[in-house]
Each structure stands twice: as C-alpha cells, then as structure tokens.
Amino acid sequence: MNSKIIEKQYAIALRKKAYTYSEILREIPVAKSTLSLWLREVSLAKQQKQRITLKRVEAQKRGARRQREIRVQKTKRILAEASRELGHVSARDLWMIGIALYWAEGSKEKEYDGRVVGTRAEFCNTDQKMIQVYLRWLQQICKIDRESIDFSISLHVTSASKLGHVQQFWSDVTGFPLEQFQKVQWKRHNPKTKRKNIGNSYNGLLIIAVKKSIDITRRIRGWNNPTNTIYCRVD
C-alpha cells in the first residue's frame, strides 16, 4: 500500500482519538496543509471535540508559562548586568543623584514682585527606594542630622482604617521611630486614577521636611543653577 495512504489512515485514526493537529504532526511528519486536507471530512463526537479543545487550552497555558519564565529570566539577567554596569556609587555620584531628585520632587523658592520668597526644604514621594536615597543624600551630603528631619503622611480618607499599617510601613522604610509619623494630611477628594498602587499596596505619600532649612533650600538652588555645566554639556 502507498505510504501516503497509510499515513493518511493513521492520521484519521489519531484524530478520531481526539489528537490535536500538533500531536498528529509529531507522529506523522507531513505539511500542516496536507494534514488539514486529509482530516477535513473527519467528523468528531461532542466529547472528542471537548477533549481537543481542552488539550489546546492546556497547550496555550504551557506556552504562556514558558514565555513568563523566559521574561523572568531575561529580567533577572538585565538587572544583574545593569547592577554591574553601575558599580560603586561615589559620594559625588550620590550628590548629583540627590540634586536631580530634589530638582524633580522637592520644594522650590517662589518669586513674587521680583522678590524671592524662601521655603523650607521639602520632598515628597510614594516610592520607598527613592525616599531611602533622598534620606541618605540629606544626611551624608547635606549633613542634616536626624533630629532636624520631620515627616508627615498624606493619606486618603478612604484608607483611614489602615493608618497604623501605613505609619509602620514608613517607619520601616526610613529607619526612623514610629512616633515621628504622627502627622497626617487627609485627602478628601474623589479622583479617578489609573495608578496601580491602590488597595493593599497604597501607603499614601510621604512628605519629608527639614526644620529651619531656608538656607539649605538656597544651597540646593545654587547646585541647580542653570549656569552650571551639568545643563550645558556631558563630558
């Protein structure tokens, strides 16, 4: 008997056993178009169709899991390579990082009628890593002692029941005692948001202020002077 006829009969037999096309092709190495032609008139019972659908769904899930594993491993590799590229962070590196952070998220002096009105140094954010870097910058670069650092939490009223958890969270993040997180600013508006840090992951906004710090604010302003070479060129 012709080998193609044998293969066709075998393919039909496997299909009637609820084999998927992929499974049949692993047994019979022919073109998928050929297999489709062979099987186009093969009718299946409802139970057989269900088994094939189930197998297809399971195969898709396996594929999705495999792709997820690949993404996780790729992410780990990228993070490791990036960490090696960064290497040691020097005091000057930290200085420049802090300047950029404050420039983006810190309070600035205001001008009114040609007069510059001073303000105390204030920085606010929700990102715990950014908070930690900023506190390190304040203490190591700006030489601000811990007693001069003041905290307050901006929290939505809908999260009032988790206030204790939020206070403990920021105490753990910063390494400062729990009693320094008693100041709370309650937000009462009802915004529509696309933020992901809601629900259990929502810990409000932490505001870090330095007491009697108008001179510090002006010093930072000098570091951020537009005439500095940082804005003009990259060596």
- The domain spans of the chain are 3-64, 91-231
Q: Tell me the mean pLDDT in the region 147-175.
A: 95
Residue 109 clears pLDDT 80, i.e. is over it: no
Q: Which residue has the higher pLDDT, 190 or 75?
A: 75
pLDDT of residue 224: 77
Q: Tell me the mean pLDDT in the region 154-167.
A: 94
Bridge partners (DSSP) of residue 10 are: none
pTM: 0.65
Q: Which of 114-128, 132-146, 155-169 has the lowest mean pLDDT?
A: 114-128
Residue 58 clears pLDDT 90, i.e. is over it: no
Residue 41 clears pLDDT 80, i.e. is over it: no
Q: What CA–CA distance (Å, rounded) separates 132 from 173?
A: 7
DSSP one-letter string for the chain = --HHHHHHHHHHHHHHTT--HHHHHHHS---HHHHHHHHTT----HHHHHHHHHHHHHHHHHHHHHHHHHHHHHHHHHHHHHHHHH----HHHHHHHHHHHHHHHB---EEETTEEEP---EEEES-HHHHHHHHHHHHHTS---GGGEEEEEEEEGGGGGGHHHHHHHHHHHHT--GGGG--EEEE--------S--GGG---EEEEEETT-HHHHHHHHHHT-TTSGGGT---
The pair phi, psi for residue 210, each rounded to 5°, is -110, 125
pLDDT of residue 77: 94
pLDDT of residue 135: 97
